[in-house]
């Protein structure tokens, strides 16, 4: 039974070996969602993602899943700018509607579920740009300095993006980033919106500064430091964070989901007081996680601060609660 199911799943993932076969498939599958995996036999991560696709094919019989060897059909790979494997393209109505670069099984699953459940085809040209432009405007204003790149600062996925990140880090420039591989709509739309055809793209206060060549020129002329906002020193950043709210809890996880028993217990105590507080997840920022230990001279988490001053960890908070001192401290009465 299990073997039969595995064979059925494998059969559910078609293989394409030519341009003609690919174009015919686009035509035949126009009425459904078509997911194409551009893969290579030498890449182990592709084999893993083929297994993920086989599972998804079992869960979504209404979706067509296809494997296409990227180097075996170069005309198709070049047409769709496939520069690495694995890469997944999503088609509806013979039009490409989304893209995913890399071996990200959870993201692939999400995209398949989203597009499969959406019965609608891509919006018509006259209604789409307005919504997209609003979204792009929000994105380029999401931080004082926004970098649209291939990959992430921790894992750039092209040489130009890597060089851009290195320059920004070298100059201690504070920036947020957006991985254009994660959203095909943004990737294509921003080219038109900014009238700039390549990536990376750097924006300051919502204004396009340019790509890597421009940034290199600004660096050489010593203008880059004047244009881009500097990252605060760690100590300054920690001071701002500890004073972000009157009561600040630095913990593993967040209010909705504590990721250690100590953090869970301190949340229960704070919730029982009825006092408003904010949290910071130290698992999401290694710099803060390590820096706050030295800043506060307190080696463990959670850490509770009131008006920027360290109260202590779980044991201290428990003692204060038992002695009836916690609530006055949280209210700033002590």
Residue 334: the pLDDT is 63
Question: What Rg do the C-alpha atoms of the chain give, in angstroms?
Answer: 25
274: left (phi over 0), alpha (psi -120 to 50) or beta: left
What CATH number should be reported for the domain holding residue 153? 3.40.30.10
Residue 119: the pLDDT is 54
- Same domain, yes or no: 240 and 322: yes
- Same domain, yes or no: 164 and 220: yes
Instruction: Please count the structural domains in the chain.
Output: 3
**According to DSSP H, which parts of the chain are helical?**
2-12, 19-28, 44-59, 74-79, 105-117, 128-140, 159-170, 184-194, 212-220, 224-227, 234-242, 261-273, 286-296, 314-322, 326-330
Q: Taking the model in full, what pTM does it have?
A: 0.43
- Same domain, yes or no: 89 and 143: no
- Same domain, yes or no: 109 and 151: no
Task: Kindly list the strands in the beta sheet with 247-251, ordered across the sheet, starting from the edge strand earlier in the chain.
Answer: 278-281, 247-251, 303-306, 309-312
- Same domain, yes or no: 144 and 217: yes
Last residue of a domain, one of 64, 94, 116: 116
Does 21 fall in a domain? yes
Residue 133: the pLDDT is 87
- Same domain, yes or no: 258 and 212: no
- Same domain, yes or no: 101 and 19: yes
- Same domain, yes or no: 49 and 94: yes
- Same domain, yes or no: 60 and 95: yes
Could you list the residue range(s) of the whole structural domain that residue 296 is in? Answer: 235-331
Residue 129: the pLDDT is 58
- Same domain, yes or no: 221 and 142: yes
Does 31 fall in a domain? yes
- Same domain, yes or no: 223 and 245: no
- Same domain, yes or no: 103 and 182: no
Residue 284: the pLDDT is 84
Last residue of a domain, one of 171, 204, 227: 227
Residue 235: the pLDDT is 85
Helix (H, G, I), strand (E, B) or coil at 210: strand
Last residue of a domain, one of 116, 137, 167: 116
Q: What's the pLDDT tens digit per position in 155-189? A: 888 889 999 999 998 988 888 899 888 888 888 89
Q: Are 237 and 250 in contact (CB under 8 A)?
A: no
What the block records as the tokens of 327 is: 């609530």
Does 218 fall in a domain? yes
- Cα gap 115→323, rounded to integer Å: 56
Residues of the chain with pLDDT under 50: 1-11, 120-127
């Amino acid at each position: 039974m299990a073997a039969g199911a595995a064979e059925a799943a494998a059969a559910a993932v078609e293989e394409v070996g030519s341009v003609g076969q690919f174009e015919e498939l686009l035509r035949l599958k126009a009425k459904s969602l078509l997911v194409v995996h551009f893969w290579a036999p030498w890449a182990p991560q592709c084999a893993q993602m083929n297994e993920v696709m086989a599972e998804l094919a079992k869960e979504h019989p209404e979706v067509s899943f296809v494997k296409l060897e990227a180097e075996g059909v170069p005309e198709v790979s070049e047409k769709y700018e496939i520069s690495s494997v694995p890469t997944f393209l999503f088609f509806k109505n013979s039009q490409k509607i989304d893209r995913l670069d890399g071996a990200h099984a959870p993201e692939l699953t999400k995209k398949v579920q989203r597009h499969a459940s959406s019965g609608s085809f891509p919006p018509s040209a006259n209604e789409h740009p307005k919504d997209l432009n609003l979204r792009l405007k929000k994105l380029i204003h999401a931080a004082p300095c926004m970098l649209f790149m291939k990959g992430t600062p921790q894992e750039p996925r092209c040489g130009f993006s890597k060089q851009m990140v290195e320059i920004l880090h070298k100059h201690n420039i504070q920036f947020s980033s957006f991985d254009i591989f994660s959203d095909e709509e943004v990737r294509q739309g921003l080219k038109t919106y900014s009238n700039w055809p390549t990536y990376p793209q750097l924006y300051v206060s919502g204004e396009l500064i340019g790509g890597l060549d421009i940034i290199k020129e600004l660096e050489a002329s010593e203008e880059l430091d004047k244009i881009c906002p500097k990252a605060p020193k760690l100590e300054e950043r920690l001071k701002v964070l500890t004073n972000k709210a009157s009561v600040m809890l630095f913990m593993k996880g967040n209010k909705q989901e504590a990721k250690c028993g100590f953090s869970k217990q301190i949340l229960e105590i704070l919730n029982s007081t009825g006092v408003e507080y904010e949290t910071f997840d130290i698992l999401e920022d290694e710099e803060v996680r390590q820096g706050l230990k030295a800043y506060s001279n307190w080696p463990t988490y959670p850490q509770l601060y009131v008006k920027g001053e360290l109260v202590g960890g779980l044991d201290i908070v428990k003692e204060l609660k038992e002695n009836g001192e916690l609530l006055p401290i949280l209210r700033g009465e002590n």
